[in-house]
Chain A
Amino acid sequence: MTDHAAFRGLGQAFRLASAAVLLTALTSISGPVIGWSKAYASPTATADKPSTEKQITGKKPGETADHSKFEILQQDFKSGPEVTKACLSCHTEAATQVHDSIHWKWEYDNEKTGQKLGKRYVINAFCGNVASNEARCTSCHAGYGWTDMRKDPPAAPEAVDCLVCHADTQYYKKFPAKAGLPITEPMDFNGKPFKVSNLIEAAQSVSLPQRDNCGACHYYGGGGDGVKHGDIDSSLNKPSKDLDVHMAADGGNMACSACHSGSGHVWPGSRYDMEAKPQARDDEGKKLPSFAMRRMNETASCESCHTDAPHQGKTLEAIKLNNHTDTVACQTCHIPEFARGGVATKMLWDWSTAGKLKDGKPFALKDDKGHPSYDSKKGDFIYEENVKPTYSWFNGQFTYVTDNDPVDTSKPVILNALGGSANDETARIWPFKLMHTKQPIDAESKKLVYMHLFGKDSDAFWKSFDWPNAIKAGQEYMGKDYSGKFEFIETRMWWPITHMVAPSDKAVQCEECHSKGGRLEGIEGVYIPGRDDMPLINWLGYGLIILTILGVAIHTIFRIATRKQRQH
């Protein structure tokens, strides 16, 4: 064999090798490039494009009735209940149905935890409690005139408010402090003229609820636009596709009831009892062949339309992404941030600083972005936009701190503790807004107390800014024991994030979790490649490799050294 032959051989081998490299590189790279787009190309859910300006709901309106042509709706309505009476003359069962709903009762019996929940009972980390502040809070009740939480809502059928859900919102708006009634004569609220409702137009404009109907209450939870949820605010009235693919006019153009699609005036999807890992099962718990076969009034979930293998195509990428659906909720990747629509959400609320006055008068401050930062009525706030969620295991169950539970004040008190862990097969990793609050408890019994905030009486905090009286009045109203001493403690509250679904190309990227210090840094009980060190095997492994290289190096040195010796 000559030198030439040897080099020719080498050259040939090199050509072969480079061809192999190229081939491998091509197959590996073309995969992801083609695959990624394929994986997201076509969700199973098909939403036909809107043909009318109305949003898509769970049930398509038949549009066989034009309410403006009904004689009974052409009266000179003087009040909301008058309109309801007219509605009920045809929709004979509607009031009974509404009376059976959480929108009416504000009551939720959680069978799994045995807790009685609902706005009527819960003390939360925002305005605290409805009780003793009714006329203000019940401006968001689906009825008229509920002025006492200690009693059931008014029983008269015409106390149901049809218009708030069904009328065009340009004609109808509930006044903020009249227990759910609108105004038909000009009137100020907080020094500014409030919208006067036009009941005749409103009655004739009815349709299936549009987003701004639901939003009239749900956007403003916690006392202002976007305050409470973070993923539900008025930006969802006309969202861009980047903000919400389902609700955008050029996206799904869906109304809330497209997903919260119930019937008989009852909608699925209450936060009080969630399904964190939806299963295609029937009522007896037997597995169904597909999610499409779930009952209509089952929990609204992504899987209802997209199934638990939502990433389409037989590509490796789709398979890899679908492998996540047993541990990671869809929302975790597909809602990268909440409060993305230009409306800030309240992240912190410190009631303990409320009541400061300037020249004897309450005042309000704003931060440098124009968001409220202080209000004498409510204390200090932090508002934020474009917030990355906090993540946690969650099985759909919350356990609330009720007014009967003493709390441990050595650490922040979680008002609605999350159920679920890595070993819970009904749990997945979910995104949340974690609310930070300072609110009052009884300093002796260590139980949450009721704050009497709103009212014309001098005990109401928003009248006289006197905490001792306001709390005492709240406790007395509910007939609760009270030591007379209160203190402010740190509380936390979890708010699951599930709206504001971004387009697939804006979803959270792999590295944002599969890396050290990423989004899922604190999540326990699951091995996440790229995030987790395996300390033992890593130390042994790197050690072994370093020792091997060292050994080889020493061996080489000896070989070279002794060869030199031998050559001498």
Chain B
Amino acid sequence: MTDIPSSTSSSGPSSGRSEELTIRPDVKKRAVKIYTRYERFWHWSQALLIFILAFSGFNLHGTLSLVPFPLAVMVHTYAAILLLVLWLFTTFWNFTTGQWRHYLPQNKGLFAVIKFYAYGIIMGAPHPYSKSLARKQNALQSLAYLTFMVIIGPALWLSGIAYLLYGLWETMQNSQQIFSLVAFVHTAAAFAMITFVVIHVYMTTTGKTVFHYIRTMITGYEKIELTPAEEAYLEEQQPDMLKANE
């Protein structure tokens, strides 16, 4: 654990639980680039846009009054368009690189992870899941991100696009009722999105240190268990994914 900055180690969790207590003796921990450059770009630009969208959205909803209404509308609309483009690219990326597999739900170990966050983490129990190359996320994470990607996200962009294109369907019958419904769905999904963000941000503080996960998402590298085969393969085929052994 040499890479923990001394300034944060004191606030980190006690070394009583350590992911270094490997369960299988034949696997070794290596610093591997688990988040590619695109993934990190996606993650942080999405985070920024969602913050902008949440603030501008609730500004024009009437909850906040940080900026005048028309500015909130403009900021929200432009940011929404950027986010739509980003999501379009990312969907493409996820499928062409095969990364989508990480988001498939897996029931195995879900309960263990929930149990861990419910009280294991408080009692100092080890995390029941360790990241691997084949599976970057634990069961709960997959489920959460899947919810984000197939429920909250689409609810927002579907209703958001309908909202944006009101001019195209304004002459429809009952367009006023449909418009209320669109605004309702969009606002409800926005609340869900904010709830997701709050939990998500909190979860990032539950790593080895408070900033451990955030740093991983910035640098891309994480120490994970590699089987000798994986290690050999990476050293041979994709050496840039491995950090040199310290």
Identify the A interface with B (CB < 8 A): 1-3, 6-7, 9-10, 13, 16-17, 20-21, 24, 27-29, 31-32, 35-36, 316-317, 319-320, 322-323, 326-327, 422-423, 425, 509-511, 514-516, 525-527, 529-534, 537-538, 540-542, 544-545, 548-549, 552, 555-556, 558-559, 562-563, 566-567
Contacts and interface: CB of A to CB of B under 8 A. Distances in A.
B48 A529 contact: no
Contact of B13 (A6, A21, A556, A563): A563
Contacts of B179: 526-527
B79 A423 contact: no
19 contacts: A1-B31, A1-B221, A6-B5, A20-B48, A28-B75, A28-B78, A29-B74, A31-B78, A317-B74, A514-B60, A526-B179, A529-B62, A530-B60, A530-B69, A532-B62, A549-B198, A559-B13, A562-B122, A563-B124
A527 B44 contact: no
B218 interface: yes
B3 interface: yes
A214 B122 CA distance: 84
Contacts of B180: 527
Nearest to A514: B69
A526 to B, nearest CB: 5
B114 to A, nearest CB: 13
B124 A566 contact: yes
Nearest to A319: B167
Interface string B73-101: 11101110010000000000000000000
B62 A32 contact: no
Interface stretch (B138-146, B149-157, B182-190): B182-190
Interface string B56-78: 00001110000011110111011
Contacts of B52: 24, 28
Contacts of B13: 559, 563
B62 A515 contact: yes
Contact of A35 (B5, B74, B170, B183): B74
Interface in B172-203: 174-176, 179-180, 183-184, 187-188, 190-192, 194-195, 198-199, 202
B184 A548 contact: no
Chain B interface size range: 35 or more
Interface of B, secondary structure class, is helix
B49 A530 contact: no
Contacts of B243: 1
B16 to A, nearest CB: 6
Nearest to A544: B195
Given A545-B191, A566-B14, A316 B202 contact: no
Given A32-B70, A534-B184, A567-B14, A20 B176 contact: no
Nearest to B70: A510
A534 B69 contact: no
Given A20-B45, A32-B70, A316-B74, A6 B16 contact: no
A531 B62 contact: yes
Contacts of B183: 527, 529, 534
Contacts of B241: none
A548 B78 contact: no
A20 B215 contact: no
Contact of B215 (A10, A540, A556): A10
A119 B179 CA distance: 42
Nearest to A23: B82
Contacts of B123: 562
Given A545-B195, A548-B198, 13 more contacts: A16-B44, A17-B44, A28-B74, A511-B70, A514-B69, A529-B62, A532-B62, A534-B183, A542-B191, A544-B191, A552-B202, A559-B122, A562-B122
B191 A541 contact: yes
Closest 3 CB pairs of A and B: A541-B191, A527-B180, A32-B74
A408 to B, nearest CB: 30
Contacts of B31: 1
Contact of B176 (A9, A423, A559): A423
B27 interface: no
Contacts of B184: 534, 537
Contacts of A532: 62
Interface in B190-235: 190-192, 194-195, 198-199, 202, 205-206, 215, 218-219, 221
A2 B167 contact: no
A515 B191 contact: no
Contact of A516 (B48, B62, B78, B202): B62
